[in-house]
Amino acid sequence: MFDPYKEDIVRTVIAATMEEHEEQSKHQHLEKADFADAIAVSRDAFLRILNAEYWTLTDHGMLPLETDVLFNLIASVDHAKDHVETGLADWSYLDSLFKRETWCIDKCGVYTNVVSRVVTTGLRDIVTITAICYMSALTEAISRASRNISGACLEQVTMEANQNLMAAQSFLETLDQEDVSMLKTWQLCRTILDFQRDTVHRWEAHGYLFGGEAQQMLHHVNHGACCLGQEMTKYLKSSVSKRSMRAIHPIRDDDDVPDPR
């Protein structure tokens, strides 16, 4: 493509771009800049993995779409992508959000009117389920990071992610542990039911089941979903303050709660 060319000039130009051994120490800042760029790219890659995990939670029914939980988690990723040069800033965004909502909860707790109780209930639910979903997605993202990141960048990003995970765990420990346990139970049951539905549909698609057989199996799965709703209702009504998890499972005074006997 370039023939004919002056080879001696080309070699001179190339040689001029190469550093001598004794001059390498003068440009260590360039190596640091390259590593900083690589870390920033790696953090961005990790955040994309984390973002995908949030949608996986949603697909499996573990993340309630009728709340702002998914919106808050995605917003934390978007915020962190703007700060990849300094670290994984997704938890700092959520932590600030939780502090604002906790402040609102404390302020509403001063009042006894119905509106204040509703606001307090909804905020507490959202804070709890958001923290649980964040930890679940972050744990899975850490285990997947090695598929896309390697070397020193992987070590740095993993360290930062584990620091965020520990901070989230410490925050979760400050919440009502009975509510945390019930929310995790709700997530587990929703995941089991979702897996059962997918299995029935997959068997039907492959011809292992006929339409009537599939519908019968799905009927049992739907019965399990109703049972989960009844258990949630019983838990809510057993609470004197009726403050737990209304955001993901609202109840009415006329809800039918089966006799536990």
Query: For 207-226, what is each residue's pLDDT tens digit?
Result: 888 778 888 899 999 999 89
- pLDDT at residue 155 in the model: 93
Chain-centroid distance of CA 145 in Å reads: 14
Instruction: Give DSSP secondary structure letters for 48-89.
Output: HHHHHHHHHHHHTT-S-TTSSHHHHHHHHHHHHHTTTTT---
DSSP-derived letter for residue 188 is H
Query: For 146-180, what is each residue's pLDDT tens digit?
Result: 988 988 899 999 999 999 999 999 999 988 888 88
pLDDT band at 249 (very low <50, low <70, confident <90, very high): low
The span from the CA of 17 to the CA of 33, in Å, is 18
DSSP-derived letter for residue 206 is T
The span from the CA of 40 to the CA of 44, in Å, is 6
Angle at 122 between CA 239 and CA 234, to 5 degrees: 30
- pLDDT at residue 117 in the model: 39
pLDDT band at 258 (very low <50, low <70, confident <90, very high): very low
- pLDDT at residue 253 in the model: 46
- pLDDT at residue 21 in the model: 53
The span from the CA of 116 to the CA of 183, in Å, is 23
User: What are 117's two structure tokens?
Assistant: 């109780």
- pLDDT at residue 103 in the model: 53
User: What are 210's two structure tokens?
Assistant: 């006929």
Contact criterion met (CB below 8 Å) for 84 and 48: no
User: What are 65's two structure tokens?
Assistant: 């779409």
Nearest residue to 191 via CA among 57, 75, 90, 93: 57
- pLDDT at residue 104 in the model: 57
pLDDT (average), residues 116-139? 73
- pLDDT at residue 110 in the model: 41
- pLDDT at residue 260 in the model: 40
| 30 pLDDT above the threshold of 70 | no
- pLDDT at residue 250 in the model: 52
